[in-house]
Structure 1
């Protein structure tokens, strides 16, 4: 479960506005009214709830207590946890690294197809499913975009996985897809070496003890120029990823379908609850199949075995009842 502040989400104004759902009507042919900050958040959540991919963690429900500032986002349970703890003394073999990296690649391609930039790809946000495949989690700093790519200007994510174009003193814009590719490159480096590489290693491609194809891929993903950095379609066809063309990945259209949300789905994207603590208490009582006061004396049998003449014991239990 992820907990977000509604005030902070409104301050961020959510994601850039998406085109209206298909079939949405407008009054007298006028364009639809701009979405307010919280409405944008609702639309973002409605989209996240409809994401459906083997390599994306599912958002199950979003709970909102009107009296509190927090939104509670409940995701599917991933009990196996992150694919790797960094640093690690036991990095992956080349085969393991390729298997997990291919999962990440398909998941990111799906997100980009939905016009979502993740912005925080790293091993701790890559969770293992019961089937052994990786699922991408944590969309806390992600961005939606219109057109072919996002044009971003704010820094977000984990510093060790941030692309160099984000770390300049002067304000500038940078492309979103290239940010995810850089973070994937650092993640692949972690898979192979069990740690995050130094700036010198990353910038100059000093990568010992790995095959040439893998070295070539990492160096091209960690190109400090975002406009010449390798792209997702190019990575999918790289010899190391496909094992020299013997194990091709599915085409984009074979595993990606566009997610669209209706106005009703936006309106119902968040479930209002009177009190989250009360809901948790009721769920606990249902699970235990007991609707008695949680503070009542637990050992009823012991009470019944007590002498009926013990007025004090009887009175205490009556008070709790």
Structure 2
């Protein structure tokens, strides 16, 4: 379960109006009616809940306590990241290609749904029971209209941020291009075990990402095709950086054509959400404690109050506190 701030999500959405739901028919013509920014967030959640792709984690449910600032997002599956960074045991090229193909399919699907992930990194790539990568954590993602997102805010993990997001003079930047940069940093981590730019100080790290050329480690023997792809993905100029369709046909990704990836039409179908699905995208609960209460009762098949620890606290306070913590942990897990 991931906990998100509603205020933060509303700031990220950045729109006081909500576009009409995709696929809606019979909508009246004319300008859209003003909608609250939280409703814009609910539409994005409705779309995330309908994402259905083998390389994208499934969002099961979102809980909202109206009296609190938090949204609780429940995801599947419960899995481990593909790798920890830094590591002295990077992947070989065959393993890296296998996982990168999964990542590429997932990103193409998200971009087709007009979603920019904005925080691609190994710790957000979970290995499922089938051995394939599933992209997780949409806490800073953006939905866009048209062909690409024009973004202005800087979010994500510092070592995976694209140089254009750190430039003070640039007013906006391409969402798709920054996802490609983060994919390049991730692939670099796959084969070398480290990010291309590292520094303990954030400002120094930003300076390196903006100004220093990309130099691939020489202590690891990798193919020339892989080097070529990495340098094209880590192109500091977003205008000339390689794109997802170009990456799909790159010789390293396809093993010189022996392993072609499916076309966009073969694995991407545009998600459509209705007004009803937007309205029901979030389950409103008066108190998270109430949900814990009900779930505990169902699990134990008992209508006894699991919070009777409060009445027994005077007799054994330490045991009651431990029991309360176990119940909360059991709900979250």
TM-score normalized by the length of structure 2? 0.83
Paired position in structure 2 for 1:314 = none
The alignment status of 1:186 with 2:198, answered yes or no, reads no
Rg (Cα) greater in structure:
1
Paired position in structure 2 for 1:154 = 153
Question: Using the alignment, how far apart are the partners of 1:295 and 1:41 within structure 2?
Answer: 34
Contact 2:293 2:307 in 1 (8 A): no
Residues 97-176 of structure 1 correspond to what in structure 2 (within 5 A)? 97-176=96-175
**Distance change >3 Å, CA 24–CA 276, structure 1 → 2:** farther
Paired position in structure 2 for 1:267 = 279
Question: Using the alignment, how far apart are the partners of 1:17 and 1:59 within structure 2?
Answer: 21
Question: Using the alignment, how far apart are the partners of 2:308 and 2:64 within structure 1?
Answer: 30
TM-score normalized by the length of structure 1? 0.86
2:269 aligned to 240, 249, 257, which one? Answer: 257
Q: CA deviation at 1:77?
A: 3.0
Question: Using the alignment, how far apart are the partners of 1:296 and 1:149 within structure 2?
Answer: 54
Q: CA deviation at 1:24?
A: 4.2
Q: CA deviation at 1:219?
A: 0.6
**Distance change >3 Å, CA 143–CA 293, structure 1 → 2:** closer
Paired position in structure 2 for 1:307 = none
**Distance change >3 Å, CA 86–CA 204, structure 1 → 2:** closer
The alignment status of 1:196 with 2:195, answered yes or no, reads yes
Q: CA deviation at 1:87?
A: 1.0
Paired position in structure 2 for 1:61 = 61
Q: CA deviation at 1:7?
A: 2.7
**Distance change >3 Å, CA 289–CA 14, structure 1 → 2:** farther
Report the aligned-residue RMSD: 2.0
2:254 aligned to 235, 242, 247, which one? Answer: 242
* Structure 1 residues without counterparts, runs of 5 or longer: 298-321
What does the per-residue CA deviation read over 1:105-150, in whole Å, with 9 as the maximum and x for residues that have no partner?
Answer: 0000001101111111000110111101000011111111111111
Contact 2:164 2:238 in 1 (8 A): yes
SS of equivalent residue, structure 2 residue 81? coil
Paired position in structure 2 for 1:7 = 7
Paired position in structure 1 for 2:83 = 84
